[in-house]
Amino acid sequence: MVAAGTLAMVFTFGTPYSYGVFLGPFEELYGLSSVTLSTVFSLQLFLFYAGAGVIGVLASRFPSRRVLLACGVVTGLLAPALYVVDSYLGLVVVFGVQGAALGTVFVELASVVPQWFDEQRATATGVLMAGAGVSLLVVPPAWQFAFDRVGVPTGFLAIGLASAAAFLAAGAVGRRPPWLVASASSLSGLRSWLVGLLGNPQFRVLVLGVGLSFAWYYVLASFAIELFQARGLSATAASVAFGLIGGVSVLSRLGAGAVADRVGYRVTLLAGLASTGLGTVALALPGVYALAAAVFCYGIGLGVIGSLYIPVLLSVFDPVRDTAIVGVFNVVFGVFALFTPPIGTALVAATGSFEPAIALTGLTTVVSISAVWFGTRPGAWTCATRPG
């Protein structure tokens, strides 16, 4: 199940984070401005998180296998859509539904697979999340290659069908541990649990901290390829350089799990967030070496955060509500993903400079570190942390 889940993860994160690759070909094909197109891909990222989060909360009442198979079917049906879609509204529908399907696969796998492990949960999560790191490494260049070689509609078809096949394979074997099946409850039970969760002050602090832990990447993805090209890289090299952040994160995801199982989830997660801050400092400096340092630091941070935020959440909140709690925080990620990429794009367009967007990237990290440190500080919370 871990092997199938890791393979499926390869086809999740890479697509919604490839909107920097999509902008050029889609602007040329559809005659839409980059700012207009950024709203399409921001909505996709929003539904990847928030839409899938809502589905995840509701899907906690159903077998994971059925949910994964349904996502595979939907992804396959969307694959030929760009042969007939020729409008802004059509793109909104196609990429919105695709984002929700990809995100639901992530929610199911990320919440269910770690529950099969006790002592080595962070390590197992790191192995699973390595697939997401590979996704960020190979999928953006794969989209670039497909669009260059066979065009937008055919490239979308090919990668869409490959994604559907991987999701169907995960659905064939993926299931919740039998000792957690009894956690499924009625809609009224989920509603009561959500009310209790929203009343928890620790939850509200972690909404800000964990919610912003990926916001720097949302902003970065909106301008990174343009910035890399402005510093002398070709379009292909820029997409590869951006993908290398995911490539570095593959190793850090694996290593972060092993380290966290020994020194603790909290300390390791905060170290990962600090690494992203160093990446932003390096990005603000001129030169190729500074750019390489930024990519490396971002990759380390992305891998650590991606591997450990779920074990941190499951250690704070009720692990029986695995899919539901991951789904709730996916909604939080979606809220930040909806408006941060357009802000980054608009800052660059309005100022003609990358510095304001870089500053926004750093600000999200600083706020996230502060809130995560306070929200997970031992002994700081006397309220119940496991509602439901």
For the CA atoms of 374, 379, 384, 388, what is the dihedral angle to 10 degrees?
70
The residue-averaged pLDDT of 44-58 equals: 79
> What domains can you pick out in the chain, each with its CATH number?
2-375 (1.20.1250.20)
**pLDDT bucket at 382, cuts 50 / 70 / 90:** low
For the CA atoms of 60, 113, 71, 140, what is the dihedral angle to 10 degrees?
130
DSSP for 234-259 reads: -HHHHHHHHHHHHHHHHHHHHHHHHH
Tell me: pLDDT of 380 over 70: no
The residue-averaged pLDDT of 189-204 equals: 80
Q: Which two tokens stand for residue 317?
A: 């909140």
- Residue 297: the pLDDT is 94
Nearest to 210 by CA among 54, 295, 117, 314: 314
Give the separation between CA 337 and CA 318, rounded to whole angstroms.
26
Are the C-beta atoms of residues 103 and 45 closer than 8 Å to each other? no
Give the separation between CA 27 and CA 260, rounded to whole angstroms.
44
The residue-averaged pLDDT of 267-278 equals: 93
DSSP for 178-193 reads: GGGGGG---HHHHHHH
Give the separation between CA 88 and CA 67, rounded to whole angstroms.
29
Residue with tokens 């695709």: 98
**pLDDT bucket at 76, cuts 50 / 70 / 90:** very high
Are the C-beta atoms of residues 300 and 282 closer than 8 Å to each other? no
Tell me: pLDDT of 20 over 80: no
Give the separation between CA 139 and CA 188, rounded to whole angstroms.
40
The residue-averaged pLDDT of 153-158 equals: 93
- Which of 78-82, 120-124, 210-214 has the largest mean confidence? 78-82
Residue with tokens 């509200």: 204
- Which residues, other chains included, contact 388 with Cβ-Cβ below 8 Å and sequence gap of 6+? 189, 192, 193, 196, 197, 318, 320, 321
Give the separation between CA 12 and CA 89, rounded to whole angstroms.
23
Give the separation between CA 342 and CA 97, rounded to whole angstroms.
20
- Residue 78: the pLDDT is 93
Q: What mean pLDDT is reported for the chain?
A: 82
Give the separation between CA 29 and CA 148, rounded to whole angstroms.
13
